[in-house]
A and B are shown apart, each in its own frame.
Chain A
């Protein structure tokens, strides 16, 4: 009798456990699956999920932050035009979150929204192959909202050409342009006796010296090994290397596209144009080390979640710092108790070093890589994507990239400049607007071949600035790093360097 009783208990227990597991699996399946598109014939009916970054109506807003509502309005209009199609906005990650990690993990789970934000360089360096859809075929298609033109023709042709991936694909559709500037504290400048704003790097360093003598900390730079710090070094490499290599510019465009893309950089590394054996390339680093003496102390320590320099500037602890055009509004709303202004980034000239050219590279930090950078994931990265949904999503993108709509969206926020043909920026950003149709000359100088290399390069640079490495050692390590990465990239992408 005991045996039977125990058997029954055991079986009961097993059945219950099995039931629980089944229940868990069932609810997980129910919870984990995303909404699937109903494809009735050829047309799509359902919801398009969009991660709209700064333009998203669905984010946690800081006080005094302008609420972008334009996209929500356009979504409503679109639904009336196309009944059955709804556009939903995924909530933005909190500021300071690691967007790329989110992208990576979501794509691995097949859970990306139908439109994601990706900066065009990152599409090459940081996103695994096969995550994003090549939109080039759609660029050639007729734009239903601009009769007589293909989609590619309504967008800014130059930017489309410049943002192509090395393999010729277009992964990112661009709609805005960002610039950077040097923000400065007017009162500190006055007290230090600086009467004219610096334009060249040499003048800029003299200004720093004057500020230092007057007892101020001239500049705040983020050299912490955080994501922001690692990213910011590319601002300096772009500012200087675009100027240094301007004489040879056509030579850098190895692959024949209208820009210097990742593959071009890799080839330049392979050829030694970027590396310790090229004195032109090496000339930058002592200049930067010299610059570091004017930075706030503890520039390699914590950076307050990437906002250290800005916070230090607002608190009146430093006289200047570099930031993007987006910061103007933010500083305004922080209401600092001093007068402040901006001036164009100072660029190197031949008085600084013989390797400088006279090119004004202040605009090279910036370009078509801010918030209106949208890409569409493949079905593997977004399980809810289907051919019909893809068509509908592309159509929505075409809708929001008409001149009128792009202008409305971008100008409502007022932090960037719209780039679609025929748009106008807000008055205060007019000078930035003049740049968008100029060729974007910008090269990273080998600094950002992929995430792994960038992080290692940055840390080596830190050691150099902190005096732990000599210039020669730094040059050796950086060059070795770049070459290793360039070879790895060639292998992964089946590039043949011998052709160039």
Chain B
């Protein structure tokens, strides 16, 4: 292994430097979260000892409700999207019916609709449906937003499954729903994993949609809540707890990635995500 390393040294040197720079904000965040203000003003770049764990206590109290909301929105949104998206993807990939190419193009064109366009009309519509400031409304809005991409990915992936399986199933007299349940879903596990992680990330990071659709502090997800949180802590120049809050906000995704990294990568191989 060391021989390989030495042969690739130029690549490694570049990659290590790039990785360090890419990770720096993350490292900085963690380092600062353990500092008291005095330590912060004296040492901007490095670690300060002792580590102040109480920063985390303060931060946790402030942002745990936001974390729960984000988790709820993300989990529900991802499940809905996986279900509806895979159903639609299968329909586009394997079933034949009138107007399919046109309908598919209509769905794909949705990819072009910037989220910005629908932001305010969605607000209007939610107000009309009396879903404004409600968690269910938020989840439905998220689920709709990610549909186009999800359907697209599922369609590509299911289309690449071997035709023979489907032929065999049809000869055996399986209904389409059974084919979907017994063949498509099990075989699509990697892609379901990848697209779900992607959707989860996108919901977790979304700032504008909840900002507009939710106006009770108790229902804020992490993104909006962190802004409110920051306002409070910058005002008091409490940088340690502020960064502790940011770190806590990153933990769920970190845990998720640690557990699902292989699944995520597997779904990305076979190079099926492309145009």
Asked if A60 is an interface residue, CB under 8 A from chain B, the answer is: yes
Inter-subunit contact A106/B215 (CB<8 Å): yes
Asked if B254 is an interface residue, CB under 8 A from chain A, the answer is: no
Q: If A31-B134, A32-B132, A32-B134 touch, does A111 touch B215 (CB 8 Å cutoff)?
A: yes
CB closest residue in chain A, given B41 = A315
Q: Which residues of B contact A13 (CB under 8 A)?
A: 177
- Chain A interface mostly: helix
Tell me the smallest distance from the CB of B53 to a CB of chain A, in Å: 18
Tell me the smallest distance from the CB of B83 to a CB of chain A, in Å: 11
With A and B bound together, what is the CA distance between A236 and B165 in angstroms?
A: 77
Asked if B11 is an interface residue, CB under 8 A from chain A, the answer is: no
Q: Which residues of B contact A343 (CB under 8 A)?
A: none
Q: Which residues of A contact B259 (CB under 8 A)?
A: none
- Chain B interface mostly: helix
Inter-subunit contact B127/A109 (CB<8 Å): yes
* A62 touches which of B176, B177, B235 (Cβ 8 Å): B235
Inter-subunit contact B215/A28 (CB<8 Å): no
Tell me the smallest distance from the CB of B203 to a CB of chain A, in Å: 18
With A and B bound together, what is the CA distance between A115 and B215 in angstroms?
A: 16
Residue of B136, B140, B236 ringed by the most chain A CB atoms within 10 A: B236
Instruction: Name the interface residues of A62-119: CB closer than 8 Å to any CB of B.
Output: 62-63, 91, 93-97, 102, 105-106, 108-111
Asked if B99 is an interface residue, CB under 8 A from chain A, the answer is: no
Inter-subunit contact B228/A108 (CB<8 Å): no
Q: Which residues of A contact B127 (CB under 8 A)?
A: 108-110
Inter-subunit contact A105/B130 (CB<8 Å): no
* A28 touches which of B130, B177, B217, B230 (Cβ 8 Å): B130
Q: Which residues of A contact B131 (CB under 8 A)?
A: 28, 32
Q: Which of A303-311, A417-425, A436-444 contacts B (4 or more CB under 8 A)?
A: A303-311
With A and B bound together, what is the CA distance between A197 and B205 in angstroms?
A: 51
Asked if B114 is an interface residue, CB under 8 A from chain A, the answer is: no
Asked if B173 is an interface residue, CB under 8 A from chain A, the answer is: yes
Q: How many residues of B contact A (CB 8 A)?
A: 32
With A and B bound together, what is the CA distance between A108 and B236 in angstroms?
A: 33
Asked if B229 is an interface residue, CB under 8 A from chain A, the answer is: yes
Interface digits, B188-232 against A, CB 8 Å rule (1 contact, 0 not)? 000000000000000000000000100101100000000111111
Interface digits, B120-134 against A, CB 8 Å rule (1 contact, 0 not)? 000110010111111
* B229 touches which of A94, A109, A110, A311 (Cβ 8 Å): A94
Interface digits, B143-178 against A, CB 8 Å rule (1 contact, 0 not)? 000000000000000000000000000000101110
Tell me the smallest distance from the CB of A227 to a CB of chain B, in Å: 11
CB closest residue in chain B, given A32 = B130
Q: Which residues of B contact A32 (CB under 8 A)?
A: 130-134
Inter-subunit contact B123/A63 (CB<8 Å): no
Interface digits, A269-305 against B, CB 8 Å rule (1 contact, 0 not)? 0000000000000000000000000000000000011
Query: Could you pull out 24 A-B pairs where Cβ atoms are within 8 angstroms?
Result: A2-B173, A6-B176, A9-B175, A9-B177, A24-B140, A27-B136, A31-B134, A31-B135, A31-B136, A32-B132, A63-B236, A91-B218, A94-B217, A94-B231, A96-B228, A97-B228, A105-B132, A105-B212, A105-B215, A106-B215, A109-B133, A110-B127, A111-B215, A334-B236
Given A62-B232, A93-B228, list of 4 further CB < 8 A pairs? A31-B135, A31-B136, A109-B133, A311-B237
